[in-house]
Amino acid sequence: MYEGSMTMTSAEPISTPPAPPVSLTALLARRDLGLRLLAGPEDVSIHWVHTSEMADPYPYLLGGELLMTAGVQLTDPARYVERVVEAGAAALAFGVTPVYDTVPAGLVEACARHGLPLVEVPPRTPFTAVARALWRLMAEARLYELRRVTEAQQSLAAAAARPAPVPAVLGALASRLGGRALLFGADGTESVAAGREVPTEAARALRDLAGVLGPRPGGPASASGDGGGLRLAAYALGGGDGLTLGVATERRGPGDHTIAGVAVVLLSLLTAPHRGADAAVRDGALVRLLLGAAPTEIADTLGPGPWTVVHASGGDGTPFAAASLAASLGTPLVDAGGGSGPRDGTPVAVRLLLPAATPVTEQPGWTLGVGAPAPAAELAAADAQAARALRRAEATRTPLVRHRPGGVAALVDPDEAAAHARALLAPLTEPLGDTLRTWLSLHGSWDRTAVAMDIHRNTVRQRIARCGVLLDRDLDDPDVRMELWFALKSR
């Protein structure tokens, strides 16, 4: 039924390398390094690089790495290669000189026998240059994957806002992954499909793989395997009705699981059995809002509210974390696309929209920022409030921070306000600053300031005049007085 192994996962974090793997072929293509393949295949994936001169590097290898050595303690090439293969290393790079003038023939023979790629590193190429080139290739691959995932998320969100959202989302997913996407019912029947046809064997294996998941409580959320020469994956939807998403592709990229996870969240919302016509219209309004529509354009379909906007960061790193958070808070209105804040571009992991009557409580593994309840037409302001609250929560390492209504002063970060006050009031000595503060608090009254400070009114006039000169401000201007008063309170 399956060619190879099958992997099932639940809501636990997936162990992945810090960057997409790089093909050994890409590293060999770097002519400046002068690398030469002596044995084994070149179409292997390298996840990281490690240098070791240990006689037995097995205990220090994680698997998937390019192991580099000059053979300082190489005494038994056959045994050495056996241990490297047992550790799961992707390839072996051998540097010639100063220990060996050429790569030992026994090492070449052992690598060829075990199918371990063996790369010769010339004397002019230091190991650090190979490592730097590999990390650079990984960084390029990671940037490519981030762009691909971002573009796919935007495409899936746009598809979810179309008149027939479920087929549109499946079509967008199949196009982005370069394969076929299917929706299976609880009985295993194929309900909706998109993308190019797959061989009968692959279709049968994918249906069987989807049947492994099912609606059992605590069961796996996803499963993967091979069949009919294709890479297969299945994901249980969160609607509670046993629907499963199946995906068949020729290859599996590092970002494919994340892209499929976004599709799972959207399809779970679109196919939830409790959704009525009002909910469908409301979700469509939310999608348009997240795509940039003005709040006034969607206020009628979203409902008058009031609504509460929540920004969240954290989670366990799986594509289903946002959906789990939304379920815990009791809302299907969630944007898991990792967008940016409305004003300053601050990255936001998850944004949620809840009816104002729904309580927002602390969530394990998450940091939350909560805006003040607002009608639909004022969601932009509430979104900005939630973004500021999340920043305060992260800065203070508090699991949940709510927007603090407090007028204009509450809109400014206290540290930034204090820094501005110090710079603005730096020219003033302590007596001048105290006099200016008292004078402003008494609405510019010379006599009342003199009485309050127990000094002569002419002294008050002289000090205030001196403040104006040092600050280079017109103290008769109400805007200047307001700015100075705010700075004196923030100092």
The CATH code of the domain that includes 453 is: 1.10.10.2840
- The answer to whether residue 179 sits within a structural domain is yes
CA distance 359 to 29: 57
CA distance 390 to 410: 14
Query: Quick one: average pLDDT of 125-133?
Result: 95
Phi, psi of 377 (to 5 degrees): -70, -15
Please indicate, yes or no, whether residues 108 and 188 belong to a single structural domain of this protein.
no
Phi, psi of 371 (to 5 degrees): -85, 170
pTM (predicted TM-score): 0.47
Most confident segment among 117-121, 191-195, 349-353, 485-489 = 117-121
Most confident segment among 85-89, 165-169, 441-445 = 85-89
- The answer to whether residue 445 sits within a structural domain is yes
The DSSP letter of residue 347 is B
379 or 48, higher pLDDT: 48
Please indicate, yes or no, whether residues 81 and 195 belong to a single structural domain of this protein.
no
Q: Do the beta carbons of residue 26 and residue 90 sit within 8 Å?
A: no
Query: Quick one: average pLDDT of 411-429?
Result: 79
Q: What is the pLDDT of residues 315-325, one digit of tens each?
A: 766 555 676 67
- The answer to whether residue 423 sits within a structural domain is yes
The CA dihedral of 30, 36, 41, 46, to the nearest 10 degrees, is -50
**Per-residue model confidence (pLDDT) at position 70:** 95
How many other CB atoms sit within 10 Å of the CB of residue 120? 18
Identify the domain containing residue 84 by its residue range: 36-124
**Per-residue model confidence (pLDDT) at position 104:** 96
**Per-residue model confidence (pLDDT) at position 302:** 60
1 or 192, higher pLDDT: 192
Please indicate, yes or no, whether residues 281 and 395 belong to a single structural domain of this protein.
yes
Between strands 36-39 and 230-236, the pairing is unpaired
Please indicate, yes or no, whether residues 418 and 346 belong to a single structural domain of this protein.
no
Please indicate, yes or no, whether residues 287 and 387 belong to a single structural domain of this protein.
yes
Asked which of 157-166, 267-276, 304-313 is least confident by mean pLDDT, the reply is 267-276
Residue 35's nearest CA partner among 93, 107, 84 is 93
Asked which of 70-79, 126-135, 310-319, 388-397 is least confident by mean pLDDT, the reply is 310-319
- Where does a domain end: 77, 92, 124? 124
**Per-residue model confidence (pLDDT) at position 270:** 78
Q: What is the pLDDT of residues 38-68, one digit of tens each?
A: 999 999 999 989 999 999 999 889 889 999 9
CA distance 403 to 415: 17
Between strands 22-23 and 45-46, the pairing is antiparallel
**Per-residue model confidence (pLDDT) at position 409:** 57
**Per-residue model confidence (pLDDT) at position 186:** 79
- The answer to whether residue 295 sits within a structural domain is yes
Phi, psi of 205 (to 5 degrees): -65, -35
Residue 218 in this model has a pLDDT that exceeds 60: no
- The answer to whether residue 30 sits within a structural domain is no
Please indicate, yes or no, whether residues 438 and 483 belong to a single structural domain of this protein.
yes
- The answer to whether residue 73 sits within a structural domain is yes
Query: Quick one: average pLDDT of 211-224?
Result: 68
Please indicate, yes or no, whether residues 281 and 297 belong to a single structural domain of this protein.
yes
**Per-residue model confidence (pLDDT) at position 277:** 41
**Per-residue model confidence (pLDDT) at position 298:** 54
Q: What share of the chain is helix, strand, coil (3-state, %, to 5)?
A: 45, 20, 35
Q: What is the pLDDT of residues 70-88, one digit of tens each?
A: 999 999 999 999 999 999 9
CA angle, 395 then 313 then 374, to 5°: 90
Please indicate, yes or no, whether residues 399 and 430 belong to a single structural domain of this protein.
no
**Per-residue model confidence (pLDDT) at position 412:** 64
**Per-residue model confidence (pLDDT) at position 8:** 40
Q: What is the CATH number of the domain that holds 201?
A: 3.30.450.30
Residue 443 in this model has a pLDDT that exceeds 90: no
Beta bridge partners of residue 91, listed in sequence order: 66
Please indicate, yes or no, whether residues 281 and 267 belong to a single structural domain of this protein.
no
The pLDDT confidence band at residue 1, using thresholds 50, 70 and 90, is very low
Using DSSP's 3-state secondary structure scheme, residue 11 falls into coil
Please indicate, yes or no, whether residues 429 and 352 belong to a single structural domain of this protein.
no
Please indicate, yes or no, whether residues 225 and 339 belong to a single structural domain of this protein.
no
CA distance 7 to 374: 45
**Per-residue model confidence (pLDDT) at position 317:** 61
Burial 179-199 (b: 16+ CB within 10 A, else e): bbbbbbeeeeeeebbbbeebe
* pLDDT > 90 fraction of the chain, expressed in percent and rounded: 27
The domain tally of the chain equals 4
- The answer to whether residue 28 sits within a structural domain is no
How many other CB atoms sit within 10 Å of the CB of residue 98? 9
- Where does a domain end: 371, 405, 439? 405
Residues 6 or more apart whose CB falls under 8 angstroms from that of 24 comprise 37, 42, 43, 44, 45, 46, 66, 90, 91, 117, 119
**Per-residue model confidence (pLDDT) at position 5:** 36
The pLDDT confidence band at residue 36, using thresholds 50, 70 and 90, is very high
Most confident segment among 6-15, 169-178, 267-276 = 169-178
- The answer to whether residue 16 sits within a structural domain is no
Q: The tokens 């992991």 sit on which residue?
A: 349
Please indicate, yes or no, whether residues 430 and 347 belong to a single structural domain of this protein.
no
